Amino acid sequence: MSNHRIPDAPGQLINRDVPLTFTWNGRRLRGYEGDTIVSALLANGITITGRSMKYHRPRGPLTADYWDPNTTVQVGDEPNVRASHRLLRDGMNVSAQNVWPSLRFDLKSANRLVGRFLTAGFYYKTFMKPAALWPLYARVLGTFAPGGVVDLDAPPPRNDKRYAHPDVVVAGGGPAGMAAALAAAQAGASVMLVEHEHQLGGHLCWGDDTDRAEAARLAHAVRAAGVEVLTDATVTGRYEDNWLAISQRGLPGIDERLIKARAGVLIVAAGTIERPYVFAGNDLPGVMTSGAVRRLITMYGVKPGNRAVVFTANPSGDAAVVALEAAGVTIAAVVDGRLGGNVVAAHGRNRVRRVTLADGRRIDSDLLITAVGWTTPTSLLNMSGDRPVYDPEAARFFPWCPPDNVLATGGLAGDGTTEQLVAHGEATGLLAAARAGVVRHRLQHLTRRAEPVTTPEPAWPADERPPLPHGSHPALFRSTTHGIVDYSEDVSSKDLVQAADEGFDSVELVKRFTTTTMGPSQGKLETVNTVAVLAEARGETIEQVGTTVWRPPYAPISLGALAGRIHEPVRMSSIQPWHEAHGAQPILAGQWIRPNHYGDPESEVRNTRNRVGIIDITPLGKLDLQGPDVPKLLNLLYTNSWNALPQGAVRYGLMCAEDGVVLDDGVTGRLGPEHYLMTTTSSGAATVWNWAENWLQTEHPDWQVHITPVTTGLTSINVAGPDSRQLLERLTNDIDLGPDAFQYMQVRTGTVAGVANCIVWRIGFTGELSYEVHVPSGFGLFVWEQLLVHGQDLGVAPFGLEAQRIMRLEKGHFIVGQDTDGLSKAPVTGLETLLKVEKDDWVGKPEVVWALSRGDGPRIVAVQPTDPTVVPEEAAQIVAAGTNQILGRITSSRFSPTLNRSVCLAQVHPDVATPGTTLTIVLANGTRTTAQVMEHHAHFDPEGSRLRG
Amino acid sequence: MLLVPCPVCGPKNAAELTYRGETHSRPDPNQATPEEWRSYLYLRDNPAGWLREGWFCSSGCRTFFTLERNTTTGELREPLLPGNKVAGRPISDGTEP
């Protein structure tokens, strides 16, 4: 299929028995199982894999690993796929991003010619004036945006989440990480080993036979020891108390899983990342790191070119020479950075053709391999609070002092032979297991148990690991020429020098000004080069310049993985199936789904006013209160007095927060000597429950009150209308419903439709004679259907939330949160008689007392528009006539089918709250209309003769 | 995420509890001046260092408790059992209003 594959050899991950077919920009190509997209492309002779962001320079594989900034592609409907990491699948449609009209002939590469306009800070300098042209700029810039294409019709990704509680998490599956995981597991710890590649082994995978044998030994031992191994997974963040975010891909049926792990100890064994070198032409396809060619040759059997110049300053570069020779690549020159050799420039248009060396030689080649040193990816340590320090002798950063429950090992911590790295890893694993044991003991000690943990806490194990040595490495960051520093963002060393010249003296400012380290590679390749170039420009050392801060995520997480699956609980009453079967229009109220109406809310109102209606009010908050001190609690929570509530009576109450603002309202009935049922607003049920518990537990722990939330334990049905008594009489024989025996604001318990233990009370939210029936929820639907069957001749019909809202508005009953808001202190309600200032203590009392004495707060009033057909929008402003001075707003408004006119409640300034005052209302369309303040809140039956009947 | 030791349930993720903030004792509602009352309602010391704060085990045992946390180091001291006074502010289930 191509001449870019070398013969099969040990260490190759591809399976030549399973050929795969895929397309690249529409062209049909072949690869093997085990290939990455990039190894398959290179095997087909494809060397340009993308175009750079600003200048649209051709780009090819640079590091050929997860961090490669030049190999981001579109796969089918998935944009921004890291092609050096993503495994090839049969039938994949792969295409280049950020090219137009095609990868080889990219018109946008004309940017190269206008590059001087795209230098440092061009975002802040260009396209600024005139401002009127911004829409045009935005459109033009949009076509240059480097991302892939989002297919809005693509099926949503499949994501999920998992929680894990391992003793030890090891980030990195190289020799040190594997050895650490193995030692910790053998010491009895539960261990999770997280490796971002598709296989364990780290750099041993592209090493020699001995390296690979050691990798295989450790990988086998780790699994045999019961370590949970996650490949294609990354620890992306570390937060307080070792709370870790781990992104895992490659699971069957799941695109990406987010694991939230609480680890006793985190071992960071992230290894090192090979740093690119800065020189003229350093981003030409064919310029690669030593790790890239070693990976491509050893793991994927790909010959990356024909004739190579190798610039080496370390053993990895030397090993690259050996690997290239073995793959049949001619070594045109080896330039040794340890001996003072240097490369100055790479030349070519779409690929390296020639290399200029510092000694003046010009050498023809199609590959230029650099091995100039390492970046330590200390991100997880930084997130733990560590500030790594630079060692000039080793030309890289090392950990400083991470917290006690985070340990570093491997290349991150120092240099050494495989044996030394493994030994350090083992010591780290043992230490981690011991420390995790102490953490576990502490957590157990903090948990109350029938048999408390009484063993003394073990001593915190000291860190007695012999440190890994820091090897010496020449400091090679930039040659004598300028080149690209940040490949993802197309930032050159010249841009950084210019930024320094312009006075940006902090690395954090230079970062934001030039956008260096802000692209998809997030500093993994370019941070140290950025710092080095700046240091050189300012005549300082790398330590003096310091680095930017590594923040989460270490590697990108998709938004879908963060969102996970949608788990939105829905609550519904036991009658909901009936509502759905009878054409109810649902409305979502908080978590509740409930019927808004059954087709015609106005006829539901008329039926209830004239005959009898039933409404499912199950979401009404219900708290069962028992104990001798319930009256004390009621006196504290409600503004009015609860001392003399007789058994069998219910009372309305208003609740405030400590700032005097209305919190909730509802009725509470006394069912027995020490037994009460409190109702709250539907939306306030959870709040009031927490609120009451709060006061009992923190202020009055001596009060004997037990609270049980019974909101869903009881199905609540309001039977309302002139014929409601007649209907209910047909369904109960142990509750005397006679007007004198069972009066308004009284409660009875008994049997309804044969269902025992029902609670029935007479209140009047709708303004009609009505009975609220609270039924054990298992019988809710049965009682509902019995009411309909037995009331057929009475014309009984269900009504929904909308009809109830109309009727309560006709009746002038305010709704907390609708007619009041977060600033409405209790006097706004006009219920002065319920604000018992003589009562010793109640929540919010001081603020209410002061508000009453000031008398300057807004008031809720009933408002009647002069034109009865006008229904002002809710939240329409009320202003002083002829001005825009705001005096209040409409809080509720509906057209009343009972009165055949509009009905409103409003909150207004006290100066205009007097009955008879004419108000000016600004409607949504900008026109003004007038209205009168009414004498009572109730538009309908202000005397209440209907509900008391 | 902080691991918060509920005195009843043991250590739990902070997200399973509701944070109630700095604790303040409630002044006598019949004696307090507006300054004292509003200090109780609104003013917080926000120290860099040890802070006594209220937590509510809203997704667990529903215990209100206080503990001491060092705001600069994240260290926690032994939780205290309920009965300690905290400023009364309404909270809903699991989420701040």
In this prediction the ipTM stands at 0.86
Chosen from A161, A406, A446, A448 to mutate, greatest number of chain B CBs within 10 A: A446
Which chain A residues touch B37 with a CB distance below 8 Å? 846-847
Quick one: pLDDT at residue A72? 93
Which CATH number characterizes residue A893's domain? 2.40.30.110
Q: Is the pLDDT of residue A117 over 70?
A: no
A8 has a chain B CB within 8 A of its CB = no
Distance CA A31, CA A22 (A): 8
End of a domain among A426, A445, A464?
A: A445
Question: Which residue in the set A241, A845, A847 is minimally distant from B3, CB to CB?
Answer: A241
**Across A168-286, where does the E strand assignment appear?**
168-171, 191-194, 228-230, 233-239, 243-251, 254-262, 265-268, 273-274
Nearest to A680 by CA among A691, A662, A667, A694: A667
A846 has a chain B CB within 8 A of its CB = yes
Quick one: pLDDT at residue A1? 44
Distance CA A148, CA A456 (A): 58
Distance CA A927, CA A923 (A): 6
CB contact under 8 A, B37 and A262: no
Q: Are residues A937 and A890 in the same domain?
A: yes
How many helices (H) and strands (E) in chain B? 1, 5
Distance CA A737, CA A747 (A): 11
Question: Which residue in the set A448, A693, A695 is minimally distant from B8, CB to CB?
Answer: A448
Using the structure block, give the residue that is written with the tokens 């009451």.
A692
On whether residue A505 sits in a domain, the answer given is yes
Element spanning A210, H or E: helix A209-224
End of a domain among A564, A590, A625?
A: A564
Quick one: pLDDT at residue B84? 39
Distance CA B20, CA A262 (A): 24
In the predicted model, what is the mean pLDDT of residues A820-842? 93
CB contact under 8 A, A691 and B90: yes
Nearest to A856 by CA among A878, A825, A834, A832: A825
In the predicted model, what is the mean pLDDT of residues B83-95? 37
On whether residue A229 sits in a domain, the answer given is yes
Q: Are residues A530 and A382 in the same domain?
A: no
Residues 589-628 of A with CB under 8 A from B: none
More confident residue, A834 or A132: A834
CB contact set of A653 (below 8 Å; sequence gap of 6+): A634, A637, A638, A639, A640, A642, A665, A666, A667, A668, A834
On whether residue A238 sits in a domain, the answer given is yes
More confident residue, A414 or B24: A414
Q: SS3 of A372, please?
A: coil
Question: Which residue in the set B37, B54, B56 is minimally distant from A690, CB to CB?
Answer: B56
The domain spans of chain B are: 3-70
Q: SS3 of A537, please?
A: helix
Q: How many domains does chain A have?
A: 4
Quick one: pLDDT at residue A348? 96
Q: Is the pLDDT of residue A113 over 70?
A: no
A845 has a chain B CB within 8 A of its CB = yes
Query: Considering chain A, what percentage of its residues have pLDDT values greater than 70?
Result: 94
Which chain A residues touch B41 with a CB distance below 8 Å? 658-659
Nearest to A312 by CA among A471, A472, A474: A474
A165 has a chain B CB within 8 A of its CB = no
Quick one: pLDDT at residue A383? 94
Q: Are residues A39 and A169 in the same domain?
A: no
Query: For residue B5, what is the nearest residue in chain A, using CA coordinates?
Result: A446
On whether residue A623 sits in a domain, the answer given is no
SS3 letters for A7-38?
A: CCCCCCCCEEEEEEEEEECCEEEEEEECCEHH
End of a domain among A115, A147, A170?
A: A115
Q: SS3 of A796, please?
A: coil
- Range scoring the smallest mean pLDDT among A472-486, A896-910, B42-56: B42-56
The amino acid present at A773, given as its one-letter code, is V
On whether residue A168 sits in a domain, the answer given is yes
- Range scoring the smallest mean pLDDT among A4-13, A602-611, B1-10: B1-10
Give the distance, in angstroms, between the CA of residue A899 and the centroid of all CA atoms in the same chain.
50
Bridge partners, residue A798, by sequence: A614
A714-720 and A613-616 beta bridge pairing:
antiparallel
Quick one: pLDDT at residue A142? 59
Which CATH number characterizes residue A544's domain? 1.10.10.1100
Do residues A897 and A806 touch, judged by C-beta distance below 8 A? Answer: yes
Quick one: pLDDT at residue A136? 67
Distance CA A859, CA A909 (A): 6
On whether residue A615 sits in a domain, the answer given is no
Q: Are residues A89 and A218 in the same domain?
A: no
- What backbone torsions phi and psi does residue A45 show, to the nearest 5 degrees? 80, 10
Chain A with chain B: Cβ pairs closer than 8 A: 96
- Range scoring the smallest mean pLDDT among A286-295, A440-449, A565-574, A878-887: A440-449
Query: For residue A841, what is the nearest residue in chain B, using CA coordinates?
Result: B29
Query: For residue A659, what is the nearest residue in chain B, using CA coordinates?
Result: B41
CB contact under 8 A, B85 and A241: no
Q: Is the pLDDT of residue A566 over 80?
A: no
Distance CA A25, CA B86 (A): 65
B29 has a chain A CB within 8 A of its CB = yes
Quick one: pLDDT at residue B90? 39
Q: Are residues A76 and A23 in the same domain?
A: yes
Nearest to A119 by CA among A478, A480, A519, A493: A493
Q: Are residues A403 and A552 in the same domain?
A: no
Distance CA A603, CA A897 (A): 8
Question: How many residues are listed for chain A in this entry?
Answer: 949
Question: Which residue in the set B8, B18, B88 is minimally distant from A695, CB to CB?
Answer: B88
On whether residue A646 sits in a domain, the answer given is no
Q: Are residues A163 and A266 in the same domain?
A: yes
pLDDT tens for residues A160-177?
A: 999 999 999 999 999 999
CATH code for the part of the protein at B3-70: 3.30.2270.10
CB contact set of A871 (below 8 Å; sequence gap of 6+): A865, A893, A894, A895, A902, A904
In the predicted model, what is the mean pLDDT of residues A428-442? 95
Residue A94, domain extent? 15-115
Q: Is the pLDDT of residue B95 over 60?
A: no
- Range scoring the smallest mean pLDDT among A295-299, A441-445, A634-638, A653-657: A441-445
CB contact set of A505 (below 8 Å; sequence gap of 6+): A538
Q: Are residues A405 and A263 in the same domain?
A: yes
